[in-house]
Structure 1
Amino acid sequence: MTRTDEFERSIAYGEAALTYLKGNRTPAYPRNYELWYVYAAGFNRELNKAVNEALKRLGHLPEELTQRFYDEFLSPVRLSDRVGEVSTRVSRELDQIINLLEESGGNAESYGASLRSAADILGSAGTKQQIRTALEKVIAATVSMERYNSALEKQLKESRVQITELQESLEAIRYESLTDQLTGLANRKHFDQSLERAIDVAARRGEPLSLVLCDIDHFKKFNDTYGHQTGDQVLRLVGAAIKSTVKGRDLAARYGGEEFGIILPNTSLEAGVTVANQIRSAVMAKELIKRSTGESLGRITMSAGVATLRPLESRDSLIERADACLYASKHNGRNRVTSEAELDPSTSSAVA
């Protein structure tokens, strides 16, 4: 995507956000603008679903609902609060386990003392009654220790279950923070972090690293014609097609709007072009059906660009070269893949 395309798209989302603010008579505070901008862009599936349901029910979005939806779906505090809550619960469980183990140590020491006392009695016992008393003391201490160990085992099992559930909760939060809700692919944050790591690994190991950037053809026109809900359906369809094609160490992400990025570790330029064409074919093979009417809306096509990491190259430079290849695909008729090997100097300078 060129800077001009990105500028025009962001302005379109911004103008739509202002229209929503005016239509709902919502004060144009930054957080309210952010909510409607994200809604217009379709970046947050759950937010759009909640807003659409409220609009259907009420006809507009009251300010109190706007604030609630922002806090629920967009506020950066929300994720940190959830992580903090789970971390507190983990700490509580660990403290409980430590207390149990300390108590277990005290009981074991008490049991040892009981055994030593019984041994002393047996050593000096002169009658059957004294021997019996010593044995009864050993048996009573052993039964008590068995009961305590049984209770301790039960409590430790329960704590283990709790900690496993909390670990799963943290993993779910981590997954959510790195995943695009609409497509199920990695989000931009995950993409940026993963590309930095992949570049570092490729440089250290001397392996090739290819990057594919692809973009849905005529998506804005499609979105304007059929509406955001159908546009979301297109994005989900494309996400599923990409996910079914990308394997192993490769990472697919929703790079922004209708643009996607695929990181291909240990992959040559030629192999990267093959993957890009597989994605393009997988997307084009799916027919889009409008759910509300069953009407066929035809097939979706994608354009893609592929570049391979150069020595000492930065992340931004690699992205820029893949983006130049994507622009060339758009410029030369769409529904095609262009590799950096195909670019001529005039095309490269036009993109820059």
Structure 2
Amino acid sequence: MGRRDTGTGGPSGTAVPSGERDRSALLAHRAMALIKDLKLPATPRIYEFCYAYATGDYPSLNMAINDLLNRRIAIGDATIRQIGAKYIPQSHHGERIDHVGLRVKQVIGEVLGALGTIINAEGAFSSDIEETGEKLSAAKSGQALIDEIKAMMQSAQRLGDEQRRLEERMNTSIDDIGDLRDQLHKIRTASMIDPITGLPNRQSFDRLLERALAEWNDHGYAGCLVLCDIDDFKTFNDTWGHSTGDQVLCLVAMEVKQKSGKVGIVARPGGAQFAIILPGASIERARAMAEQIRCSVMSRDITMRSTTQRLGRINLSFGVVAAHANDTPDTMVVRVQTCLRAAKDRGRNRVVCEGDPEPSRELRVAFG
């Protein structure tokens, strides 16, 4: 596959449907064509990425993708996560939502305009019928009667034409609004997902924790919050590069997600931190799960994918807290961050739970 054109034509020579009259529809068509060409699933994150490519608003992103295409390097989900995180700013989601909102207003304006036209046409037809009735009553010859009947038929024909145009416009508007609704759903979904790991991002985490706490407070359920951080991740990134760092983030995300089971809600609030919301868990159960994740990640020997060079091992520090009565997301996050800082202060690579004055001896694990 060669270099793609993001100018006025459709991707890979795909013809752009003549019915696409606005830029939003044109870009959506190009994005879907790119997804099809790359043989990728049409997930919200991939659609958002391909739409950004189609706009041409991010030259560095397009250059990176075109370079891969020119070198015939396969573009998969991991590549899209890494390139998207590097070149697409978070403000892009807000711009897309604003653009879709503007288009919705335009479609509504067009529909209202069409309705106004048909209302005016019906008013004119009523006036014509009334006037024709008066003329028919006053007609003194057969020809005058025929002329007035023809005029009435022409007026009815005009009204019928306007009604058909309105029906066509309404059908087109229904399709347009359906497409825009789908686009908006994809944008909003993408804006809640971390592009590197595919986990819920900070905005999504805040909502998930708020929802969980409300349920726990209402029903008296137990629950815990776990926060982990990759030790010395900045040094790792500076030494081996951000691309390798992103691979480590994905590895840790996979381990955390797998070990949290079906009940745990995992998110990446930011940086090298991962949060786990555990409904119904006691603090001891949360501690045991954190230990399991820590040991599993630490046991892996990290290698650079491109050269198989050994990079060493990754250590994690954890903070664990249980929900208190009338907790808020802010109070719970502050407490778990305090525990995480304590884990860092006590030597890293360990789990510290709320109420632990000192790390338990069984939690101390030698490095290496």
Provide the TM-score with structure 2 as the length reference. 0.55
The answer to whether structure 1 residue 227 and structure 2 residue 227 are counterparts is no
2:103 aligns with 89
Give, in angstroms, the shift of residue 74 of structure 1.
5.2
**Paired position in structure 2 for 1:182:** 196
Cα distance in 1, alignment partners of residues 356 and 311 from structure 2: 36
2:282 corresponds to which of 269, 276, 286 = 269
Aligned counterparts, 1:55-66, within 5 A: none
> In the alignment, does 2:177 pair up with 1:163?
yes
Residue 255 of structure 1 is matched in structure 2 by 269
Is 1:308–2:308 an aligned residue pair?
A: no
Once the two structures are TM-superposed, the CA of residue 219 in structure 1 deviates from its matched residue by 3.5
- Secondary structure, counterpart of 2:204 in structure 1: helix
SS of residue in 2 equivalent to 1:268:
coil
Q: In the alignment, which of 112, 120, 127 is matched to residue 98 of structure 1?
A: 112
Report deviation, 1:230.
0.9
Offset of residue 92 of structure 1: 1.6
Deviation of the 1:267 alpha carbon: 2.7
Change (3 A) 1:296 1:135: farther
Residue 344 (1) aligns with residue 359 (2) = no
Residue of structure 2 in register with 1:203 after alignment:
217
Deviation at 1:132, TM superposition (A): 8.5
Higher helix share: 1
1:153 aligned onto 2:162: no
CA contact (8 A) 2:266 2:277 kept: yes
| 8 A contact 1:269–1:307 mirrored in 2 | no
1:181 & 1:268 partners in 2: Cα distance? Answer: 29
Cα pair 1:186 1:251 within 8 Å, conserved:
no
Shift of 1:115: 7.0
Overall identity of the aligned pairs, in %? 32
Counterparts in 2 of 1:283 and 1:120: CA distance versus 1, 3 Å: farther
Does the residue aligned with 1:306 lie in a helix, a strand or coil? strand
CA distance in 2: counterparts of 1:274 and 1:153, whole angstroms: 64
Partner of 1:214: 228
Paired residues of 1:216 and 1:303 also in contact (CA < 8 A): yes
| Residues 1:81 and 1:325: Cα distance change in structure 2 (over 3 Å) | closer
CA pair 138-227 structure 1, distance change in 2 beyond 3 A: same
The code of the aligned residue for 1:238 comes to V
User: Is the 1:269–1:339 Cα contact (8 Å) retained in structure 2?
Assistant: no
Change beyond 3 A, Cα 1:247–1:99:
farther
- Does the CA-based 8 Å contact 1:216-1:301 persist in structure 2? yes
Contact residue 186 and residue 252 of structure 1 kept, 8 A: yes
Q: 1:221/1:147 Cα in 2 relative to 1: closer, same or farther (>3 Å)? A: same
- In structure 2, how many angstroms separate the alpha carbons of the residues matched to 1:229 and 1:256? 17
Q: Is the 8 A contact 2:351 2:359 kept in 1?
A: no
Once the two structures are superposed, residues 67-112 of structure 1 have per-residue CA deviations (whole angstroms, 9 ceiling, x without a partner) of xxxxx85596x66554443332222221111112222333344556
Structure 1 residues 115 and 223 mapped into 2: Cα distance closer, same or farther (>3 Å)? same
1:287, 1:123 → 2: CA distance? 100
Decide whether aligned partners of structure 1 residues 301 and 168 sit closer, same or farther in structure 2, where only a CA change above 3 A counts.
farther
97-106 or 268-277, larger mean C-alpha shift: 268-277
Paired residue for 2:27?
A: none
- Structure 1 length-normalised TM: 0.57
- Does the CA-based 8 Å contact 1:328-1:347 persist in structure 2? no
Unmatched 5+ residue regions in structure 2?
1-57, 68-86, 361-368
Residue type matched to 2:281 in 1? S
* 2:296 is equivalent to residue 293 of structure 1: no
More relative contact order, 1 or 2 (CA 8 Å, 6+ apart): 1
What are the superposed Cα offsets for residues 2-24 of structure 1, whole Å, 9 maximum, x if unpaired? xxxxxxxxxxxxxxxxxxxxxxx
- Count of residues in Structure 1 that have an aligned counterpart in Structure 2: 278
Q: Secondary structure at the match of 2:326?
A: coil
Structure 1, 304-313 or 195-204: larger mean CA deviation: 195-204
Q: What amino acid is aligned across from residue 88 of structure 1 in structure 2?
A: L
Q: Structure 1: any 5+ residue segments left out of the alignment?
A: 1-46, 57-71
**Using the alignment, how far apart are the partners of 1:273 and 1:131 within structure 2?**
96
> C-alpha separation between the residues in 2 aligned to 1:289 and 1:146?
73
Contact kept? 1:214, 1:326, Cα under 8 Å: yes
